[in-house]
Amino acid sequence: MQEQVNIMVTLDSAYLPPLKVMLTSLRQNNLSLNIKVWLIHTNIPEKQLVELEQFLQQLKMSLTSIKIPADLFKDAPTVERYPKEMYYRLVCGDILPKEVNRVIYLDPDILVINSLEPLWQLDLADNVFAAAVHSGLTNISEGINNIRLGIDHGYYNSGVLLIDVEKARQLIHLNDIYQTIDQHGKWLLLPDQDVMNYLYGKVTKEIPEEIWNYDTRQAATYMTRSLGKANTHWVAENTVVLHYCGKPKPWDSNSNNRFTLLYAHYQQLTKRIARQITE
């Protein structure tokens, strides 16, 4: 039996359709991986969880869903302003069972188009996270974020994370997160991502964004930075995670760029797999 690869997702009912598309692409391009999905949520109805589990059986993945008690974040200072699901990935050490010591967190607006194994096998050294920096052509957002947050590293995107859950248990505490939000709340634009960068950026290992967190809005930037090397064929061969950041989302009917068709094709594969359940 191959080693179990833990995939963590944290979302609500609205994101179950893209989650299925993401997992279909993950399976299609990682046929031999032994994948377990950890779904952390607050209020997905039981019926939808059963349906998701049946879908994952078709993909030969196992599912454990963990419902967070509504009062776990009752002391969070900004519960009104931002959904608390945002913080689940940071405090996953407190949520996942003790036997889970490594996990890959993935946003649902993602396609996995090549092997995830090199990320799973990555040596984190003393770091808690591995993440990519969305640096753009000029790194101007890094500069602004460095001033805004007082950090001296790239501004990490929290949509794709390798997490040493064991180290997270020791290092990451809800109270630190609450304190940061209390003190710096007015400066936080993307609260979970800001908190991660501010508190834990120093224990994050940078991984190349073109491979592990390719922002589909930035295709021209990647082409320019690579002096023309990172064209469409390079992406198909080398990129592992296509991250459909921003709006429109790739499932919106007005999404119509060079990344839409691949997403729509995986939506179609997903529908076919779902149909097999009822047949």
Report the interface residues with a second copy, using CB under 8 A: 113-114, 231-233, 235-237, 251, 253, 255-262, 264-265, 267-268
Residue closer to a second copy by CB (options 189, 261) is 261
In whole angstroms, the minimum distance from the beta carbon of 276 to a second copy comes to: 10
**HSE-CB of 39 using CA atoms within 13 angstroms:** 26
In whole angstroms, the minimum distance from the beta carbon of 77 to a second copy comes to: 41
CA dihedral 29, 38, 251, 224 (to 10 degrees): -60
Residue closer to a second copy by CB (options 78, 267) is 267
Q: What SS3 state is found at 129?
A: strand
Residue closer to a second copy by CB (options 113, 188) is 113
CA distance 11 to 42: 8
CA distance 8 to 262: 23
Residue closer to a second copy by CB (options 64, 255) is 255
Tokens for 213, please give them: 């967190």
In whole angstroms, the minimum distance from the beta carbon of 139 to a second copy comes to: 26
In whole angstroms, the minimum distance from the beta carbon of 24 to a second copy comes to: 12
Residue closer to a second copy by CB (options 11, 112) is 112
Sheet holding 129-133, edge to edge: 62-67, 34-41, 4-10, 102-106, 156-164, 129-133, 204-206
In whole angstroms, the minimum distance from the beta carbon of 247 to a second copy comes to: 16
